[in-house]
């Protein structure tokens, strides 16, 4: 997994609550058996005016000019600013894959759905929770100032605005450690093979029908 330390990135606002993973990556793209290539289809139904199907050449499709992702000022964004309960619905990891493939490395929102939140960390994406009023303030600033960037410092757990305001964010110690070092969960768990085997033996003895 790629390491995450510090990011100075352009911010893209997505001003809707309860954005579900069906919206982040519609189901027709879930037929793929690969992990990559979902970026061009991220938010497909909102982003394009036609109906997308896997394998389409997205550079030729009609764009929805209203959607922030298509506006010139947000091109190259690496930070997604979103509203509450982001990533609800289906457990599809294709959602973080699509966001990562599109170029996002950080999401900022007041809250996330549990499975999505968890899936982000497995893909080097950092989902940050900030209080509602701070997210609101960020939305106002992004919309007011083209080229708006934020500096996300994982080590220090801060988000710095161009005006020099620093918002502090929380992250679980273990997740932070894994992201900072780009650690692979499976590799980490396999360091405990003996503990798993011991547990398994005991567990099967207690419930031999399993």
- Closest separation in Å from C-beta 138 to other proteins: 15
Label residue 158 exposed, middle or buried (CB < 10 Å: 0-12, 13-18, 19+).
middle
Binding mask 105-124 for other proteins (x = CB under 8 A): ------xxxxx--xx--xx-
Rounded CA gap, 202 and 100, in Å? 41
Please select the residue that binds other proteins; options are 3, 140, 168, 192, rule is CB under 8 A: 192
Q: What secondary structure letter does DSSP report for 93?
A: T
Task: Give the footprint of other proteins on residues 129-168 (CB under 8 A).
Answer: none
Segments of the chain assigned E as strands = 6-13, 79-81, 106-109, 126-129, 149-153, 158-160, 166-168
Q: Which is nearer to other proteins, 89 or 103 (CB)?
A: 89
Residue 22, interface with other proteins (CB under 8 A)? yes
Q: Which is nearer to other proteins, 23 or 80 (CB)?
A: 23
Q: Crossing angle for the helix pair 114-121 and 94-102, nearest 10 degrees?
A: 50
Residue 49, interface with other proteins (CB under 8 A)? no
Label residue 208 exposed, middle or buried (CB < 10 Å: 0-12, 13-18, 19+).
exposed
- Closest separation in Å from C-beta 41 to other proteins: 13
Residue 85, interface with other proteins (CB under 8 A)? yes
CB 84 within 8 A of CB 18: yes
Please select the residue that binds other proteins; options are 5, 75, 181, 189, rule is CB under 8 A: 189
The residue ranges that bind other proteins (CB under 8 A) are: 16-18, 20, 22-23, 26-28, 30-35, 45, 51, 54-55, 83-85, 88-93, 96, 111-115, 118-119, 122-123, 172-175, 185-186, 188-190, 192, 195-196, 199-200, 203, 207-210
């Amino acid at each position: 997994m790629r390491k995450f330390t510090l990011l100075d990135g352009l911010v893209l606002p997505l001003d809707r609550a309860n954005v579900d993973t069906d919206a982040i990556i519609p189901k027709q793209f879930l037929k793929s058996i690969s992990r990559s290539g979902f970026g061009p289809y991220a938010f497909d139904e909102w982003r394009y005016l036609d109906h997308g199907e896997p394998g389409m050449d997205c550079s030729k499709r009609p764009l929805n000019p209203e959607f922030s992702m298509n506006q010139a000022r947000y091109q190259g964004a690496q930070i997604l600013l979103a509203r509450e309960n982001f990533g609800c619905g289906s457990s599809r990891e294709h959602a973080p894959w699509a966001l990562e493939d599109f170029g996002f490395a950080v999401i900022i929102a007041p809250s996330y759905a549990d499975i999505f939140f968890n899936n982000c960390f497995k893909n080097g994406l950092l989902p940050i929770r900030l209080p509602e009023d701070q997210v609101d303030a960020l939305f106002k600033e992004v919309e007011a100032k083209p080229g708006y960037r934020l500096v996300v410092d994982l080590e220090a757990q801060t988000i710095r605005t161009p005006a020099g305001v620093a918002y502090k964010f929380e992250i679980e110690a273990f997740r932070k450690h894994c992201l900072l070092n780009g650690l692979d969960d499976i590799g980490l768990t396999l360091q405990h093979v003996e503990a798993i085997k011991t547990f398994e033996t005991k567990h099967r003895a207690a419930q031999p029908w399993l």
